[in-house]
Amino acid sequence: MNNTIDKQWVSRKVQSLIAISEELISFLQTKQGEDGTIRITLKDLAAELKTSVPSATERLDRLIDFGLVRRIDSRSYQMVHTNLAQTPLTKIEELMQVVSDVPSSSYKQQAEALGISVEELEIVYGYFVLLLK
Protein backbone atom coordinates (compact mmCIF):
# COMPACT_ATOMS: atom_id res chain seq x y z
CA MET A 1 0.00 0.00 0.00
CA ASN A 2 1.30 3.43 -0.96
CA ASN A 3 0.99 6.01 1.84
CA THR A 4 2.40 8.97 -0.07
CA ILE A 5 0.55 12.10 -1.07
CA ASP A 6 0.54 12.87 -4.79
CA LYS A 7 1.88 16.43 -4.98
CA GLN A 8 0.38 16.95 -8.43
CA TRP A 9 -3.06 15.96 -7.13
CA VAL A 10 -2.64 18.40 -4.22
CA SER A 11 -1.56 21.13 -6.62
CA ARG A 12 -4.58 20.53 -8.87
CA LYS A 13 -6.93 20.58 -5.87
CA VAL A 14 -5.39 23.81 -4.53
CA GLN A 15 -5.60 25.49 -7.94
CA SER A 16 -9.20 24.33 -8.36
CA LEU A 17 -10.13 25.63 -4.92
CA ILE A 18 -8.44 28.95 -5.66
CA ALA A 19 -10.30 29.28 -8.98
CA ILE A 20 -13.68 28.50 -7.38
CA SER A 21 -12.95 30.90 -4.52
CA GLU A 22 -11.85 33.69 -6.87
CA GLU A 23 -15.03 33.26 -8.92
CA LEU A 24 -17.16 33.56 -5.79
CA ILE A 25 -15.17 36.57 -4.55
CA SER A 26 -15.69 38.32 -7.90
CA PHE A 27 -19.41 37.61 -7.78
CA LEU A 28 -19.76 38.79 -4.17
CA GLN A 29 -17.94 42.02 -5.02
CA THR A 30 -20.66 42.81 -7.56
CA LYS A 31 -23.25 42.45 -4.79
CA GLN A 32 -21.59 44.85 -2.34
CA GLY A 33 -23.66 47.86 -1.40
CA GLU A 34 -22.26 51.34 -0.87
CA ASP A 35 -21.64 50.46 2.78
CA GLY A 36 -19.62 47.39 1.72
CA THR A 37 -22.28 44.95 2.89
CA ILE A 38 -23.19 42.01 0.68
CA ARG A 39 -26.85 41.12 1.07
CA ILE A 40 -27.87 37.81 -0.45
CA THR A 41 -29.75 34.72 0.64
CA LEU A 42 -28.14 31.33 0.28
CA LYS A 43 -30.97 30.34 -2.07
CA ASP A 44 -30.20 33.32 -4.33
CA LEU A 45 -26.47 32.64 -4.10
CA ALA A 46 -27.03 29.02 -5.13
CA ALA A 47 -29.16 30.14 -8.08
CA GLU A 48 -26.47 32.60 -9.20
CA LEU A 49 -23.77 29.92 -8.92
CA LYS A 50 -26.02 27.34 -10.61
CA THR A 51 -25.52 24.93 -7.76
CA SER A 52 -27.37 23.56 -4.75
CA VAL A 53 -27.90 25.51 -1.54
CA PRO A 54 -25.61 23.13 0.42
CA SER A 55 -22.86 23.58 -2.19
CA ALA A 56 -23.24 27.37 -2.18
CA THR A 57 -23.19 27.34 1.62
CA GLU A 58 -20.00 25.25 1.61
CA ARG A 59 -18.30 27.65 -0.82
CA LEU A 60 -19.28 30.70 1.21
CA ASP A 61 -18.28 29.03 4.47
CA ARG A 62 -14.89 28.28 2.93
CA LEU A 63 -14.36 31.99 2.22
CA ILE A 64 -15.37 32.71 5.81
CA ASP A 65 -12.91 30.07 7.05
CA PHE A 66 -10.20 31.61 4.87
CA GLY A 67 -10.83 34.96 6.57
CA LEU A 68 -11.89 36.60 3.32
CA VAL A 69 -15.54 37.15 4.24
CA ARG A 70 -17.23 37.89 7.54
CA ARG A 71 -20.81 36.84 8.26
CA ILE A 72 -22.89 39.69 9.68
CA ASP A 73 -26.16 37.75 9.86
CA SER A 74 -27.95 35.03 7.86
CA ARG A 75 -28.31 37.28 4.80
CA SER A 76 -25.48 39.79 5.18
CA TYR A 77 -21.76 39.44 4.70
CA GLN A 78 -18.77 41.70 4.47
CA MET A 79 -15.65 41.24 2.36
CA VAL A 80 -12.61 41.41 4.65
CA HIS A 81 -10.09 41.16 1.81
CA THR A 82 -9.85 39.44 -1.56
CA ASN A 83 -6.27 38.20 -1.69
CA LEU A 84 -6.15 34.41 -1.44
CA ALA A 85 -2.35 34.67 -1.30
CA GLN A 86 -2.83 36.06 2.20
CA THR A 87 -4.43 32.80 3.35
CA PRO A 88 -2.75 29.58 4.51
CA LEU A 89 -4.23 27.89 1.44
CA THR A 90 -1.24 28.94 -0.65
CA LYS A 91 1.18 27.31 1.80
CA ILE A 92 -0.20 23.80 1.24
CA GLU A 93 1.91 23.09 -1.83
CA GLU A 94 5.01 24.40 -0.07
CA LEU A 95 4.23 22.16 2.90
CA MET A 96 3.93 19.12 0.64
CA GLN A 97 7.39 19.91 -0.77
CA VAL A 98 8.90 20.25 2.71
CA VAL A 99 7.35 16.95 3.84
CA SER A 100 8.51 15.27 0.64
CA ASP A 101 12.07 16.58 1.01
CA VAL A 102 12.37 15.77 4.72
CA PRO A 103 9.66 13.24 5.68
CA SER A 104 10.86 12.94 9.27
CA SER A 105 10.80 16.70 9.92
CA SER A 106 9.05 17.88 13.06
CA TYR A 107 6.26 20.45 13.04
CA LYS A 108 8.75 23.02 14.29
CA GLN A 109 11.14 22.23 11.42
CA GLN A 110 8.31 22.35 8.88
CA ALA A 111 7.14 25.70 10.23
CA GLU A 112 10.68 27.09 10.08
CA ALA A 113 11.08 25.86 6.49
CA LEU A 114 7.85 27.65 5.54
CA GLY A 115 8.73 30.80 7.47
CA ILE A 116 5.63 30.56 9.67
CA SER A 117 4.82 29.76 13.29
CA VAL A 118 3.81 26.28 14.48
CA GLU A 119 0.31 27.68 15.12
CA GLU A 120 0.11 28.88 11.51
CA LEU A 121 1.36 25.46 10.37
CA GLU A 122 -1.54 23.83 12.22
CA ILE A 123 -3.90 26.05 10.23
CA VAL A 124 -2.19 25.02 6.98
CA TYR A 125 -2.70 21.37 7.92
CA GLY A 126 -6.35 22.17 8.59
CA TYR A 127 -6.70 23.58 5.09
CA PHE A 128 -4.98 20.48 3.73
CA VAL A 129 -7.59 18.31 5.46
CA LEU A 130 -10.28 20.41 3.72
CA LEU A 131 -8.75 19.42 0.40
CA LEU A 132 -9.08 15.75 1.23
CA LYS A 133 -12.86 16.02 1.62
Residue 14 predicted with pLDDT over 60: yes
Residue 131 predicted with pLDDT over 90: no
Cα→Cα distances 76→39, 45, 131, Å = 5, 12, 27
Q: Which of 17, 22, 40, 46 is nearest to 133 (CA)?
A: 17
- What pTM was computed for the model? 0.79
Strand partners, 10: none
14 and 71 share one domain = yes
The span from the CA of 102 to the CA of 39, in Å, is 47
Residue 4 predicted with pLDDT over 70: no
Q: How many CA atoms lie within 13 A of 47 on its CB side?
A: 5
Identity of the residue numbered 60: L
Residue 1 predicted with pLDDT over 60: no
In a domain, 1, yes or no: no
The pLDDT of 60-77, averaged and rounded, is: 92
The residue range of the domain holding 105 is 87-132
15 and 73 share one domain = yes
Residue 9 predicted with pLDDT over 50: yes
The pLDDT of 115-128, averaged and rounded, is: 92
14 and 77 share one domain = yes
- Give the whole-number percent of the chain exceeding pLDDT 70: 96
